[in-house]
Every structure is written in C-alpha cells, then in structure tokens.
Amino acid sequence: MVTSPELDRTTPLRGVDDAVRHIARICFKTGPPTRTGVELEWTVHDAADPARPVDRERLRAALGPHSPTTIHDSSPAAPLRHGSTVTVEPGGQLEISTAPRTSVAALVDATNADIAQVTDLLRAAGLALGRTGIDPWRPPRPVVDTPRYHAMRCVFDRRGPAGRTMMYSTAGLQVCLDAGEPDQVAARWAAAHAVGPPLLAAFATADRHAGRRTGWASARMAAWLAIDPARTRPVWSPQQPDADPVAAWTAYALAAPLLCLRDDAADWTPPPGVTFGDWITGALPRPPTTDDLDYHLSTLFPVVRPRGYLEIRYLDAQPGPDWRQPTAVLAALLADPATVRQAVATATPVADRWHEAARHGLGDPPLARAAADLLDLALAALPRLDLPDDLHDETTRGLRRRLAATERGSR
C-alpha cells in the first residue's frame, strides 16, 4: 500500500499525485482481517398506520438525545448503549452504524442490544421499523433537508426520478470487513464484488413500493442502477479481474463528477459535469483540499466502497433479526484465503449480472445456482467464525432455509 506523510486537511492539493497518495493512504488500510461491522437502515412507520407519513419532529422526539444534528441542531447525538451511532436519512430512514468488533458473535450481541434500544424508543412514540429494502406503502417524500441532500437531489434530478426514490424510500444493509494484509487485498476486493449479484438475489426484500408490486426483486437496487453510473457502478469487473484495487478506485474517484460543492451559501449544487480531477486541474476558482477530497469520496456510492475497510453496500434491509444471515455469509466467505478463492471462482461467471439480480432475484437460474453454491460454501466455512452454539445453530437453520429457496430458483 502506498503511504506518505500526513497532509494538513486544509492544504490545497498541488496536483493529481497528491490526490493519488491521499486516496491510497486512507481507503485501503491493511492489516490482519479480524474486524466486522454493520450499518443497518430501516424505513420508519407509524405503528398503527404504516402508510402515514412520519415527520422530522416525530423522529426527533422519539430519539431524544440520540437524535443526529441533522434533525436537532443542539442534540448531543449520544451513541446507543453499545456504541452504535444513529443517523436519519433524507426520507426519514433510520440508520445505526456499529463499532467494529473482532468477532461476529460480539458484533451480533452488541448490535442486537442497540436495535432493541432503538426499537423501544420508537415503540414509545408509536413508531416501528420497516422490514424491507424499500418503503412498501409510501411514495418518495423528503423528511430531512440539508445543503448536501438538496445538492444530491438537484444532481440526481438531471437523470430522472430514481435519485429521489433512492434518497427517500430505500433502506440497505451494509457489511463492513477489513481489507486484509497487503497480499490479500486484491483477492478480498474481488470476492466482495463477485459474490454481490448472487447474494443480492438471495437476500432481495424490496419487491413492493408505494402500495404496488414493482416487477423487481429489489426495487432498491433498481433505483441505484438508474442513477449516475459514474458514482454507482461497480469498481471491480470480471472483465478486468486482476486490476489493482487502489489504482481502479483512484481513477473512479477522480473521474466522478462532483455531487456537492461546499461553501457558505445554502446551495451546494455543483456545476454540471465537473469531475474531481477537473477541479484539481483548475476547473473551479479555488483548488481543492484533502478535506474536499475526503468529502467527495463520501458522495461515491458503488456496490463496494473502500473506506479503509471494505463497505459492502448491495444488500437490501432484512426483516427483524435476519440481518445476521447475510452478515455471517459474507464474513464466512472472506474468513480465509482458500475460501476467498473458492468464492471468486464460484461467483465470477455471474459477477456482472447486477441488473438480472435486481430484476429477477432467484428467478434467474444462473444466479440461483451461484447463490446455492455460495451458501453451501458459507455453511462449510461457518465454523471458522467461532460462533456460540446457539447462534451457530440458528444461523445454520436460517441459511439452510435460504438455500432451499435458491435451489428452487435454480430448477
């Protein structure tokens, strides 16, 4: 991994080489792959009438001191009891982001406790968490508006309505895994991408939106596929399986158009088509800083995003405790180099079938076969996670039920 001395965050980038060094240093931090984290999103509903809109003030009152500052300026934004932070997305979706844990069992225990705390807070306010990857009852509607969200909406509107659907109606499950030792990064990067379409198909939950069937197994992923591909398409491709992850991500980041241009004004909407690379070479009045580059990276939304670790972003939100199943699958598939290689070999023939996975889910036979093989591989690798007996047995039962569904789809 390329390293360089720390740059002052307010220091202007002198050229593309500064940006390349900074991206390499912060996006692929290497070391033993031991930690796992999750980010869980849910739509939030009135418990008695799930189609009723839920406004910002009702969320603020329910969350109290755990409210993020986006919905309560003076909130202490206190973490939950086990360290998870709470955010509220543009459509009122609630997200908790866990601290990373060195075992999946510890992650499950802490996350379950924080979910229970949030559930209790919402229940006391007559609210409930959703169970799918897209709002089944309500059309897209803004709840939280900030300069960032306003700029995002303006940029996405240039391409059509999918951006608003994504911002206001979708909920995902993000699994966060270490990038690994320097000699493991490329293989783990490839595996995290390659298994995406079959796992998206196996765990799709977003077929109904705004009171109707959508015709998609994952209308959530359909929305992501329909917005700006310069910031949402996969960075890894089975057509270039050996591409260097750092170089590929750097090229992707510099070629992506700006989504927000922060300044003292209320409107952060950037001029159309200006990429971060353009900004470095003088397209805007002031040069960008490393802080501007960090912010730009936060506006890129590929299916796997390097943030020092690998943030795996393609899974729909799962009902109730079912988030544990895909989390365990990904942790097991990346548990050791041999399993990583098997996962890549199994998934590569379908690794570019993102559209088919979103549209048909397990109704696509090649994806169903690959998903079944990956779940079998994950079940074989599950003992490496060293789960307590009750969690191991519960996870095994859940994955076997999911495996039966994949086998039906492969016929």
Share above pLDDT 90 across residues of the chain, in percent, rounded to a whole number = 93
Distance CA 161, CA 178 (A): 35
The per-residue pLDDT for range 369-387, each reduced to its tens digit, is: 999 999 999 999 999 999 9
DSSP for 195-209, written as a single string = THHHHHHHT--B-EE
Residues 6+ positions from 46 with CB-CB distance below 8 Å: 52, 54, 126, 127, 128
- pLDDT, tens digit, 9 for 90 and up, residues 8-36: 457 899 999 999 999 999 999 999 999 99
Mean of the per-residue pLDDT values of the chain? 95
Rounded to 5°, the CA angle 390-130-159 comes to 125
Q: State the CB neighbour count (10 A cutoff) for residue 2.
A: 13
Nearest to 296 by CA among 265, 257, 264: 257
**181: how many CB neighbours lie within 10 A of its CB?**
14
pLDDT confidence of 3, banded at 50, 70, 90?
A: very low
Query: Which pLDDT score, from 0 to 100, does residue 265 have?
Result: 82
What are the pLDDT digits (tens) for 210-240?
Answer: 999 999 999 999 999 999 999 999 999 999 9
By the 8 A CB rule, do 241 and 347 touch? no
Q: What is the pLDDT of residue 9?
A: 56
Name the 3-class secondary structure at 284: coil
3-state secondary structure of 237: coil
Q: How is residue 64 annotated by DSSP?
A: G
Q: Residue 7: which pLDDT band, with cuts at 50, 70 and 90? A: very low
Structural tokens at position 369:
């076969």
Residues contacting 359, CB < 8 A, separation 6+: 215, 216, 217, 222
Instruction: Report phi then psi at 403, rounded to 5.
Output: -65, -40
Q: What pLDDT does 405 receive?
A: 83
Q: Answer yes or no: are the C-beta atoms of 162 and 73 closer than 8 Å.
A: no
* The residue to which tokens 């805007």 are assigned: 284
Q: Can you say whether residue 139 is alpha, beta or left, with left for phi > 0 and alpha for psi between -120 and 50 degrees?
A: beta
Burial 315-339 (b: 16+ CB within 10 A, else e): bbbbeeebbbbbbbbbbbbbbebeb
Query: Which tokens sit at 255?
Result: 């070629």
Q: Which pLDDT score, from 0 to 100, does residue 1 have?
A: 27
